[in-house]
Structure 1
Amino acid sequence: MLEVFGLPAHILFLHAAVVLAPIAALLGIAYAVRPVWRKVLEWPAVIVTFIATISTLLTASAGEALEHAMPRNELIHEHAEQGDLMKLAALIFTVALYVTIALYGPWFSAKLSFLAKLQEMRWLGVLFQVLTVITGLFVIYQVVVTGHTGAQAAWSDWRSS
């Protein structure tokens, strides 16, 4: 099990994921639905989403190690399942947002001229805008659900002590 300063790394990593994943989702949703904001949001959305996704993957990896180091517990198992779903949600959101940015982003459009053919297919852009919004909302939901199951697992017996 990976430890940082004597604590399981999962407990430390999760703070970045819990804060940054919803921020990334909100940036992505705003990017997808507000074309006038795209120039301002393009790079913050790319950077925050990248960091949020990496921190989510690190949190999940450290959580899996922590799960295997602990005695079998149904609440921990439920939290691990929600963490796996969170990982998947973060990855799908990242792909959807990055494709949306590649299709609409002012900087990316200017630098990646080979995207012109794809940009002509309006339906593709709309599809990825919708996917970005749906997966962004799901990321926010999944952060809450995963955090709730984790809190239940960690604090379910606090009154019996």
Structure 2
Amino acid sequence: MFEKIAGLPQHVLIVHAVVVFVPLLALLAVAYGVLPRWRDRLGWAVAALAVVTPVIAWVATESGEAFEKALRDSGYPPEILSQVETHSGYGDQLLWATVALAVAAIVLLLATSGRARARALPSWLPVVLTVVVVGLAVVASTLVYLTGETGARAVWDGVV
């Protein structure tokens, strides 16, 4: 059975952290890449978010799978379960997009760290990494929207 916190399914609470942390990672990673003068100020935040955000996304995915199983076992109507499956598919894609964004952000941090190894890297590498980060930020942010929208529709269609 799925876990509850204060009487609410754990998944319902955790997804709110994903809705905040993924776009925040996307925004700060893009700012880090596009605004070199801010790198000293943003580096620590991007690094922390790149570590924490995929973990939160994974916890949300796992709790969602347990919640979905509980819904199936309790005999929810097929049309709602179909919506939950769509939501779950977007959630799985969001997890991988978040991991990819986090890895790209960390590689960008390392490539621009100023260490001797980083100075030996080609000068075009941070530009390419920034383009990758921007692309992944767009994908991850879009998936946050799609996952949240389909989850909300599964819950609220026909209720309000």
- Calculate the TM-score normalised by the size of structure 1: 0.87
Q: Which has the higher helix share?
A: 1
Q: Using the TM superposition, give the Cα deviation of residue 2 of structure 1 relative to its aligned residue in structure 2, in angstroms.
A: 2.3
Counterparts of 1:1-20 in structure 2 under 5 Å? 1-20=2-21
Any idea what SS the aligned residue of 2:130 has? helix
Does 2:107 match 1:99?
yes
Deviations 1:101-135 (CA, angstroms, capped at 9, x unpaired): 00013xxx34xx44444x2x234332211111110
Work out whether residues 79 and 150 of structure 1, in 8 Å CA contact, stay in contact via their aligned partners in 2.
yes
Amino acid at match of 1:95: V
Distance 1:123 1:31 in 2: 16
Distance 2:100 2:153 in 1: 27
Name the structure 1 match of 2:75.
none
Name the structure 2 match of 1:154.
155
Unaligned runs of 5+ in 1: none
Give the superposed CA RMSD: 1.5
Work out whether residues 25 and 46 of structure 2, in 8 Å CA contact, stay in contact via their aligned partners in 1.
yes
Work out whether residues 51 and 102 of structure 2, in 8 Å CA contact, stay in contact via their aligned partners in 1.
yes
Name the structure 1 match of 2:50.
49
Distance 1:123 1:69 in 2: 50
Deviations 1:48-106 (CA, angstroms, capped at 9, x unpaired): 2322221111111100111111125110000000000100110000011100000013x
Amino acid at match of 2:91: G
Work out whether residues 53 and 90 of structure 1, in 8 Å CA contact, stay in contact via their aligned partners in 2.
yes
Runs of 4+ in 1 over 3 A off after TM superposition: 113-117
Distance 2:15 2:50 in 1: 15
Distance 1:8 1:124 in 2: 44
Name the structure 2 match of 1:63.
64
Amino acid at match of 1:90: T
Work out whether residues 50 and 103 of structure 2, in 8 Å CA contact, stay in contact via their aligned partners in 1.
no
Amino acid at match of 2:84: I
Distance 1:114 1:35 in 2: 18
Any idea what SS the aligned residue of 1:70 has? helix
- Calculate the TM-score normalised by the size of structure 2: 0.88
Number of matched residues? 152
Name the structure 1 match of 2:123.
122
Name the structure 2 match of 1:86.
94
Any idea what SS the aligned residue of 2:125 has? helix
Identity %: 30
Unaligned runs of 5+ in 2: 73-77
